[in-house]
Amino acid sequence: MSIAVYVFVMAGVTYLIRAVPFTLFRKKVTSPFFRSLLHYIPYAVLSAMTIPAIFTSTGNVLTSLAGTAVALVLAYLGKPLIVVALAGSAAALLAGFLI
């Protein structure tokens, strides 16, 4: 029974988060400041959720740093996402074996 309540509450909150902006903002946002703010919010939220998970996922900060460093270098070089993810994971694994 409690799982059903959790699912309904989650559905309601998700619906409100998506429906309230449509009811409050009927006109197009013309302010350059707010347009740029709305443009960067998804990247900021994704970073805020991802960065802590990266450094706590292996249980050792050094292995996490090794994987992150490899992933950042490969991403900077423009490698595909699958290559970046696999190489970062492999670097963290190898660092775990070495440490």
Reported as a single tens digit per residue, the pLDDT across 3-49 is 999 999 999 999 998 888 888 878 888 889 988 988 999 999 999 99
Neighbours of 75 (CB within 10 A): 16
The domain spans of the chain are 2-27+51-98
CA distance 90 to 84: 10
Q: Measured between alpha carbons, how far is 92 from 95 in angstroms, rounded to an integer?
A: 5
Q: Above 80 in pLDDT, residue 67?
A: yes
pLDDT digits (tens, 9 = 90+) for 48-61: 999 999 999 899 99
Q: Say whether pTM exceeds 0.75.
A: no
